[in-house]
């Protein structure tokens, strides 16, 4: 039905909280290998948009297809294994140490043996230079360390797409760089990525496509060059004047 | 003071008095123990229903639990005890101790449910979202993520509730049961020691001792849970 390369196809997605219409009909397609940056003013619905994709937030109406399968209540739990997510507030599991945070899902979902999961977790930790923290609890880690571990936690299930929900908004300026370079590395390795961010320079550099959301609708889309140098709509022009 | 001391010696050297105190103490502990067990089990069930997701077949159980906790927490324990004794279990020959256990168990369940509910709800929603995003089931999220964190918030308040139950069982003397409180009154009455101060003082010590012991145990458990929470590789 769709282009065979599309990983996620969204049709007329709406999300209302009572009378508050956060998403007012979004149509969107994410292609394999793309890095899409979702920009927009605060309160525009960009985080809600991202969180609706894996049903962390339940859409009010609309259709979401993952690899040409319509997402429903019945299949979403399984599909989530293929959609990694990184949160603004990291959301490492507080009562588990770093290793257990990484291995919990693959082991409990019977996707890996404990030994295999442990091995993969430790090699990913080594890769981000945090091997020493394997047995530490989240409470003893810095924000930047937590977020980098959250990113490799999402990688543990080898997802087909990674969703980043303002991954650097809760970080101090020093650790933002570490987290961004890890995201860049993941993108360069070919991962399909959607990222909601306020880091304009990062979006410009990393994204293959920019999506701009305002008041619950996508009002402009394009390559970073088009978007940042030749914005089509007055709203985007106004936004860019303020943030750049 | 001398008189007090003499009465104290009298109490502890008269086998009938000691016997009465121990009988009373044992009844108090029996009622408390089984009431607490019922309270914990029933209270946990109510809390789970209360915190479960609002699906359409959960609405009625949720409503029933809401009414239950509202009624129990909104009426005096002494009245609930009377209703159990003189209305619901007003059956000749029905063991009083069972009536009392049920009365206190049903009462405690409502409070335990509130303690557990607030403990579960105090766990950051982001923890559940992380579990969902990883593809875990609701059950696995509760079992491995939410419950272990909730327990840390629940234990201190639960210790409080256990202490409250033990002290509140003293009102069974109002329906004529021979618990520790009643034993003190009986020993101090006219046909026995003819002085209330010593038996009541001793009964108070009994209550205090058991409650101190429970406080101590709860503190130890709390400390243990916190330690595992903060330990790092460096520590």
Q: Which of A85-89, A172-176, B191-195 has the lowest mean pLDDT?
A: B191-195
As a whole number, mean pLDDT of residues A102-128 equals: 97
**Which residue, A4, A159, A163, is CA-closest to A68?**
A4
Q: How far is CA A229 from CA A39, A200, A233, in A?
A: 15, 13, 12
Give the closest-approach CA distance of B228 to chain A in angstroms: 8
What residue ranges do the domains of chain B occupy? 2-228
Tokens 């964190």 appear where? B149
Could you report the per-residue pLDDT of A159-213, keeping only the tens digit for each?
Answer: 999 999 999 999 998 899 999 999 999 999 999 999 999 999 999 999 999 999 9
Contacts of A140 in chain B (CB under 8 A): 230, 232, 234
Cβ distance B232 to A94 less than 8 Å, yes or no, reads no
Q: Please tell me which residue of chain B has the smallest CA distance to A158.
A: B134
Domain coverage including residue A75: 6-89+160-171+186-243
Confirm if B8 and B198 have CB atoms less than 8 A apart.
yes
> For chain A, how many structural domains are there in total?
1
Instruction: Name beta bridge partners: A69.
Output: A66
Q: Do A153 and B134 touch (CB under 8 A)?
A: yes
Residue corresponding to tokens 């089990």: B41
Residues of chain A found within 8 Å of residue B133, distances taken between Cβ atoms: 54, 56, 80, 83-85, 87, 154
| Residue-level pLDDT at B62 | 96
Q: Is this prediction's ipTM beyond 0.85?
A: yes
Label residues B85-98 b or e (16+ Cβ within 10 Å = b). beeebeeeeeebee
Q: Assign residue A235 the CATH number of its domain.
A: 3.40.50.300
* Number of CB atoms found within 10 A of residue B122's CB: 12
Option in A89, A140, A154 nearest B232 (CB) = A140
The answer to the question of residue A22 being in a domain is yes
Kindly state which CATH superfamily the domain B2-228 is placed in: MetI-like (1.10.3720.10)
Strands A35-39 and A192-196: parallel
Residue A105 lies in a domain: no
Asked whether residue A143 is domain-assigned, the answer is: no
Q: What gap in Å lies between CA B199 and CA A38, rounded to an integer?
A: 76
Mean pLDDT of B139-156: 94
Task: Tell me if A128 is assigned to some domain.
Answer: no
**Are A80 and B231 within 8 A, CB to CB?**
no
The per-residue pLDDT for range A31-58, each reduced to its tens digit, is 999 999 999 999 899 999 999 999 999 9
Chain B hits for A92, CB-CB cut-off 8 Å, are: 130
In a domain, A67, yes or no: yes
Distance from CA of A60 to the nearest CA of B (A): 16
d(CA A7, CA B161): 53
For chain A, give the percent of residues with pLDDT over 90: 94
Across chain A, the runs of DSSP E, i.e. the strands, are 6-17, 20-31, 35-39, 61-66, 69-70, 83-86, 161-165, 192-196, 209-214, 217-222
Note whether residue A126 is domain-resident: no
Residue A2 is predicted with a pLDDT of 47
pLDDT band at B233 (very low <50, low <70, confident <90, very high): very low
Per-residue exposure over A137-159, b if at least 16 CB sit within 10 Å of its own CB, e if not: bbebbebbbbbbbbbbbbbbbeb
The answer to whether residue A98 sits within a structural domain is: no
B88-142 pLDDT per residue, tens: 998 888 999 999 999 999 999 999 999 999 999 999 999 999 999 999 999 999 9
Which member of B129, B131, B233 has the closest CB to residue A135?
B233
């Amino acid at each position: 039905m769709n282009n065979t390369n599309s990983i996620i196809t969204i049709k007329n997605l709406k999300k209302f909280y009572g009378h508050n219409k956060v998403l007012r009909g979004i149509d969107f397609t994410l292609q394999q290998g793309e890095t899409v940056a979702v920009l927009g003013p605060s309160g525009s619905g960009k985080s809600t948009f991202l969180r609706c994709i894996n049903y962390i937030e339940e859409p009010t109406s609309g259709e979401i297809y993952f690899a040409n399968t319509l997402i429903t209540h019945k299949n979403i739990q399984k599909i989530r294994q293929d959609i990694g997510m990184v949160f603004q507030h990291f959301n490492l599991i507080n009562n588990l140490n770093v290793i257990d945070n990484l291995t919990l899902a693959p082991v409990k979902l019977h996707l890996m043996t404990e030994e295999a999961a442990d091995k993969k977790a430790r090699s990913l930790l080594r890769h981000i230079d945090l091997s020493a923290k394997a047995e530490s609890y989240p409470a003893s880690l810095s924000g930047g360390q937590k977020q980098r571990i959250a990113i490799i936690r999402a990688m543990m299930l080898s997802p087909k797409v990674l969703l980043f929900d303002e991954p650097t908004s809760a970080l101090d300026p020093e650790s933002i760089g570490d987290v961004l370079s890890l995201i860049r590395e993941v993108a360069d390795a070919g991962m399909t990525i959607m990222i909601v961010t306020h880091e304009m320079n990062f979006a410009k550099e990393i994204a293959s496509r920019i999506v701009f959301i305002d008041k619950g609708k996508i009002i402009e889309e394009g390559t970073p060059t088009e978007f940042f140098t030749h914005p089509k709509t007055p709203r985007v022009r106004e936004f860019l004047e303020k943030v750049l | 003071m001398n008189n007090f001391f003499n009465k104290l010696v009298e109490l502890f050297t008269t086998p009938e008095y000691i016997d009465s105190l121990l009988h009373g103490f044992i009844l108090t502990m029996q009622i408390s123990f089984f009431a607490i067990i019922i309270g914990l089990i029933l209270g946990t069930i109510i809390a789970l229903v209360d915190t479960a997701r609002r699906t359409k077949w959960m609405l009625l159980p949720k409503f029933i639990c809401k009414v239950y906790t509202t009624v129990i927490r909104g009426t005096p324990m002494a009245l609930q005890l009377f209703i159990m004794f003189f209305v619901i279990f007003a059956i000749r020959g029905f063991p009083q101790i069972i009536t009392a256990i049920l009365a206190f168990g049903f009462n405690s369940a409502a409070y335990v449910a509130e303690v557990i509910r607030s403990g579960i709800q105090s766990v950051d929603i982001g923890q559940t979202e992380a579990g969902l995003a990883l593809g875990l089931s609701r059950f696995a999220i509760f079992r491995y993520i939410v419950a272990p964190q909730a327990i840390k918030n629940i234990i201190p308040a639960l210790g409080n509730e256990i202490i409250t139950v033990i002290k509140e069982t003293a009102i069974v003397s109002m329906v004529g049961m021979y618990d520790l409180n009643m034993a003190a009154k009986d020993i101090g009455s006219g046909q026995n020691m003819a002085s209330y101060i010593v038996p009541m003082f001793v009964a108070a010590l009994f209550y205090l001792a058991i409650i101190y012991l429970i406080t101590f145990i709860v503190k130890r458990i709390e400390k243990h849970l916190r330690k595992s929470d903060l330990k790092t590789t460096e520590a």
